[in-house]
Amino acid sequence: MVACGGAPAGGPNAPATEGDPIAFSFGTTEGELFGSADTRGRSTGVLFVTTFDLASQAQARFLNEIYQEHQPRPHVAAVVLEPPKHRVLAEAFRTSLGLDYPVALANPSTLSGDGPFGTIAGVPTLVVLDRTGRVAFRSTGAVPKATMDAAFAAADAGRVLPIP
C-alpha cells in the first residue's frame, strides 16, 4: 500500500487540490486527538509517514523546523501508516527525531485509502490545508524545506501551491 519515493499525487481516491474542507481525526501516541475540529483558523500540515523510511524521517525533521519557525505557527502532525501494534515504533519515531508536534497512528479508513485524504500512494506524503481546511498543497516524496515553507505561506494566504 505505501512505499518510499516520489510517486505522483493523484489516483482515483485522491482528493482534488481545491474543494470542500477535509474533516479528519487521528489518535496521537500521547492519547490526544489531532483533528480538523481543532485546527481551523491556522494552516495545518499532515505528514503521512512510516517509521522505517529515511525520507519520512527527513521530512518529519523539516516539518519540525517549519513548526518552530513559521509565523503564524501552523498546526502539524505526522500520521504513521502502520497498524496499531506499532504504536511503540510511532512513539520512538517522535522521541528519537525530537519532534515537537504530535505523532498519530492512521485509522483503518486511512490505511485502506477510504479516508478523507484519499489514497496515500507513498511516503512521505505531505498535505497542507488552509485555514478553512481545504487542500492547499499535496506532494508525495521528499520535498525541500523551502517548498514546505512556501506551501504553508500559500495556505496562510488562502492560495493553492502547485505540486513541484
Residue pair 160/137 in contact (Cβ under 8 Å)? The answer is: yes
Give me the residue spans of the domains in the chain: 29-156
Whole-number pLDDT of residue 164 = 65
Over residues 29-53, mean pLDDT: 96
Whole-number pLDDT of residue 17 = 42
DSSP state of 57: H
CA dihedral 6, 11, 14, 18 (to 10 degrees): 90
Q: How far apart are CA 161 and CA 164, in angstroms?
A: 9
Q: In 3D, which of 48, 45, 29 has the Cα closest to residue 95? A: 29
Residue pair 38/157 in contact (Cβ under 8 Å)? The answer is: no
Q: How far apart are CA 36 and CA 34, in angstroms?
A: 7
* Choice between 63 and 10, residue whose per-residue pLDDT is larger: 63
Over residues 85-99, mean pLDDT: 96
Instruction: Assess whether pLDDT exceeds 80 at residue 18.
Output: no
Over residues 44-48, mean pLDDT: 98
Q: Is the bond preceding residue 124 a cis peptide, omega within 30 degrees? A: yes
Over residues 51-57, mean pLDDT: 97
User: In 3-state terms, the chain is what percent helix, strand and coil (to 5)?
Assistant: 30, 20, 50
Residue pair 46/77 in contact (Cβ under 8 Å)? The answer is: yes
Instruction: Assess whether pLDDT exceeds 50 at residue 117.
Output: yes
Assigned CATH for 29-156:
3.40.30.10
Whole-number pLDDT of residue 162 = 79
